[in-house]
Amino acid sequence: MALPKLEAPVHSLTLPSSGEQVKFRPFLVKEQKLLILAEESKNQDDLYNALKDIIDGCTFNKLSVNALPMFDVEYLFLKIRAKSVGSKINVNVICPDDKETQVMTEIDLDDIDVQIDEKHTNVIQVNDDIKLVMQYPIMDDVKILKNTSTMEMFKIINKCVKELHHGENIYNGPDMAEKELDEFFESMSPDQFMKVNDFFDTMPRLRHYVSVTNPNTKVESKVLMEGLEHFLV
């Protein structure tokens, strides 16, 4: 006689980047094992591969995870994690007043969301005639950015160019040669390139403030937790 099959509940969420509705299930023990092994390895590639595999499985292979902006990937995993093993986690927060005292703080993952800077735009007006339409870094790009050189950073910037508008002419980013894009960015003034930096600095990302009180100094502080690595507990 065949053993009964266990059915996982199905939930839904809205992707921050597109507003698309996505159905997902909690991760299973086999997927939790992947995550634990990846965390124990301390290898960044192992961790990102585990995240991708878990999200693929939990969204019924309906998403192209490799093509999603990284903040979508982080948001997806956080919501999957909350429905899988509970939304409450305990994290060690370093008190900013002395930069060494650690305080254990409880965080509810359901309170964490992708924050969008009100000044953020993916359209960069380089000058009166030229503007760039940018797209967000994907998981493979972020893996590079964690340990990158200046040359690698320029490769990521080039990959994030979706379109270049020059008057009435529109050039598609993937059709432009990397050398041409390198020369284009290198020819910018510092003020023009600062606009490119602003696009990356103000990108949507997971952000959450926690209040902590240093038990030694009694100083109360608010600490910004940013990015998925703060919540992988």
In this predicted structure, what is the pLDDT of residue 41?
A: 85
| Contact residues for 148 (Cβ-Cβ < 8 A; gap 6+) | 156
- Work out the mean pLDDT of the chain and round it to a whole number: 91
Paired tokens of 163? 């379109």
d(CA 95, CA 160): 36
d(CA 205, CA 226): 7
Paired tokens of 158? 């080039």
Q: Can you give the pTM of this predicted structure? A: 0.88
In this predicted structure, what is the pLDDT of residue 38?
A: 86
In this predicted structure, what is the pLDDT of residue 149?
A: 66
In this predicted structure, what is the pLDDT of residue 148?
A: 60
Q: How confident is the chain (233 residues) per 10-residue block, as mean pLDDT?
A: 85 94 95 88 85 94 93 94 91 93 93 91 96 94 67 88 96 94 96 96 92 95 86 67
Please give, one letter per residue, the 3-state secondary structure of 115-177. Answer: ECCCCCCCEEECCCCEEEEECCCEHHHHHHHHCCCHHHHHHHHHHCEEEEEECCEEEEHHHCC
In this predicted structure, what is the pLDDT of residue 233?
A: 59
* Neighbouring C-beta atoms of residue 27, cutoff 10 Å: 23
In this predicted structure, what is the pLDDT of residue 142?
A: 76
In this predicted structure, what is the pLDDT of residue 231?
A: 73
In this predicted structure, what is the pLDDT of residue 191?
A: 96
In this predicted structure, what is the pLDDT of residue 144?
A: 65
Condensed to tens digits (0 to 9), the pLDDT of residues 89-148 reads 899 999 999 999 999 999 999 999 999 899 999 999 999 999 999 999 998 887 666 656
Q: How far is CA 146 from CA 44, 56, 140, 157, 208, in A?
A: 9, 23, 10, 14, 21
In this predicted structure, what is the pLDDT of residue 4?
A: 83
In this predicted structure, what is the pLDDT of residue 228?
A: 80
